Structure 1
Amino acid sequence: MSKRLFPYLLLAPTLIFLAGFTYFPLVRSLVDSLYDSRLATDNPPFVGLDNFVRLFQDRVFWLSVVNNLIYILVTVVPGIILALTLAVWLAQNTRLNRLLRAAFFFPTIIPLVSAATLWTFIFIPNLGLLDYYLAKIAGPMCVNYLGMGKSALFALALVGVWKFAGYYMLFFLAALQGLPASPREAALMEGASGRQVFWYITLPLLRPTLNFVIIIALVYSITQIDHVAIMTQGGPNNASSVLLYYIQDLANNSHDFGKASAATFFTVMALFVISILNLRTLEKGVHYER
């Protein structure tokens, strides 16, 4: 009997944490979404799916969804490409490469709130570093990057890429160091160019790591919103509002916990579906060494 229970005892801490910090909050958000908390009573009335109806009729919600999709596109894709490029360039274990790895990884250890404050000074119109150096090329500049609807979201995306590309780079570096050398050496002996070796041998072997990094990047692009609160507060006119900031604003400012719970459940389910689709797509043709 003890032998049968031993595996479950080993898994118990993980299962407890999963139940307490993953499954319970998800179920609680679903339950809370069925009640209307706007009346500020101890026993909010049961309203069924009315909170979801109100959510889907909210123009700001759909604007936040679109903004989040754009933010994912302009952070995940450039961030992963940059991380993979840096990993390939710095794969050789030389002293200079070790220094460069540390330099590119450094933004990762800076709290996102501190990074947002730093970049806010960089984006200050006419006084920030960005306008200062652009003025040397194109003349005097006075662009309010965080105050214009067309540029605010992309300014936030730039912070996201700067913050997390070095983190993704570490995964690719570890994967590159673990790849077998024989396939690449054989291809080079057959006359393949370095570019051909990368596209047809190295990149396919990196697909399991690429799969993992994409999932992590998707999660970060939805959950890491500290810089939105610091730099734009979702403005101007909700042009940089993303899903998690929209939920936070509903809960903290409007105190509409039922609608915020409905948006939370929708976001978690959407992230779950995207992750499953991503896994099924990238797992095709993946070979794992045993």
Structure 2
Amino acid sequence: MKQWRTHMENYGFVFPSLLLTLVLGIYPILWAMRYMFYDYNGYGAETFNGLDNFVRLWKDDLFWDSVVNTIIYAGAKIAITIPLSLVLAVILNRGLRGRHILRAIYFMPTVISTAVIAVVFFIIFNSYNGLLNQFLLKYHLISESIDWLGPKYAMLTVIIVAVWGAIGNYMLLFLAGLQGISEDLYESASIDGAGTLQKFWRITVPMLGPVMQMIIMLAITVSLKGYESIMVLTEGGPVGKTEVMYLYVYKLLFPVSTGSVLTQEIGYGSAVGFATAVIVGIITGIYFYMSKRLNQVY
């Protein structure tokens, strides 16, 4: 009887979160999966069309372009952010004066709204009267304004914004990992004559292995799903140069003003959302499999 009561108390604590997960997580997914097989714009009648949405998806050049853009965006963001975050964490893990203030400054973008960050950077990178162009023109570093949000530099611009917004979060995780490494290891290496770089590559990086795997996994999923700052800065333009998968899904599922006409494609958007989730799952699964294999080897 006592054991049964304990189980009921445990289930009582779990039930609210389970209910919220079912209502706000599972049900919307099942609702969207149903509409993958319907032609539905959110207003008129629901028309069952079988696999037509997936046939259209296969032939949709805009979707496949968004897949390529997402891989470029996520790959560049991860390749820049992870090393920079690690270097910053190593520097700020030392006994520097004011290191706590610096940690707070680097972490601050993580707690600021992505939309606010994007608006600030839009003011900086604005092609006509942006702060960056004004600075470069003032000191004669360029002869004319650069179109930072144009076809040539738009992807570079959104990657810079993404790196700036993410670097503090991963730095904090690396700091947590660094503080778990015993100082005795570094003292022993110093006695053996190891230099700073040798200690970094031979001690710091290997000891951060588990933390590094977790951070890379987090960076992959977050980067592949990111679109908020791109939506504010470029809206996926110009001419689709920064259109990423989840931004494309957003535009299909929510009304987008095109002149005086509102377009909404819940059926096709659900199919695209499902395909996008599958692609993200496959990429994440490949990384997870490779990391497990590396653990077995080493």
- Per the TM alignment, residue 188 of structure 1 is displaced from its structure 2 partner at its CA by 2.5
Q: Does 1:25 pair with 2:28?
A: yes
Which residue identity is paired with 1:80? I
2:18 matched to which residue of 1? 15
Aligned-CA RMSD value: 2.2
Partners in 2 of 1:198 and 1:285 — Cα distance? 20
Partners in 1 of 2:294 and 2:190 — Cα distance? 23
- 1:10-68 per-residue CA deviation (whole Å, 9 max, x = no partner) reads 443443343334333333222111111149434x1222221111112111111111111
Q: Does 1:237 pair with 2:234?
A: no
Which residue identity is paired with 1:280? Y
The partner residue of 2:78 within 76, 79, 88 is 76
TM-score (norm 2): 0.87
1:268 matched to which residue of 2? 277
2:97 matched to which residue of 1? 95
Change (3 A) 1:36 1:281: same
Which residue identity is paired with 1:229? M
Tell me if structure 1 keeps the 8 A contact 2:252–2:265.
yes
2:173 matched to which residue of 1? 171
- Per the TM alignment, residue 5 of structure 1 is displaced from its structure 2 partner at its CA by 4.6
Matches within 5 A, 1:53-132: 53-125=55-127, 127-132=129-134
The partner residue of 2:207 within 205, 208, 213 is 205
2:218 matched to which residue of 1? 216
Tell me if structure 2 keeps the 8 A contact 1:126–1:141.
no
The partner residue of 1:138 within 137, 141, 144 is 141
Which residue identity is paired with 2:68? V
Change (3 A) 1:11 1:198: farther
Which residue identity is paired with 1:279? F
Unaligned segments of structure 2, at least 5 residues: 257-262
Which residue identity is paired with 2:246? L
Deviating above 6 A after TM superposition, structure 1's stretches of 4 or more consecutive aligned residues are none
Change (3 A) 1:24 1:184: farther
Partners in 2 of 1:88 and 1:166 — Cα distance? 13
Which residue identity is paired with 1:105? F
Tell me if structure 2 keeps the 8 A contact 1:208–1:286.
no
Q: Report the 3-state secondary structure (helix = DSSP H, G, I; strand = E; otherwise coil) of the residue aligned with 1:95.
A: coil
- 1:100-138 per-residue CA deviation (whole Å, 9 max, x = no partner) reads 112211222221111111111111235322223333253
TM-score (norm 1): 0.89
Partners in 2 of 1:111 and 1:260 — Cα distance? 26
Question: Once structures 1 and 2 are overlaid, which stretch shifts more, 17-26 or 198-207?
Answer: 17-26
Partners in 1 of 2:95 and 2:15 — Cα distance? 40
Tell me if structure 2 keeps the 8 A contact 1:83–1:165.
yes
Unaligned segments of structure 1, at least 5 residues: none
Change (3 A) 1:15 1:274: farther
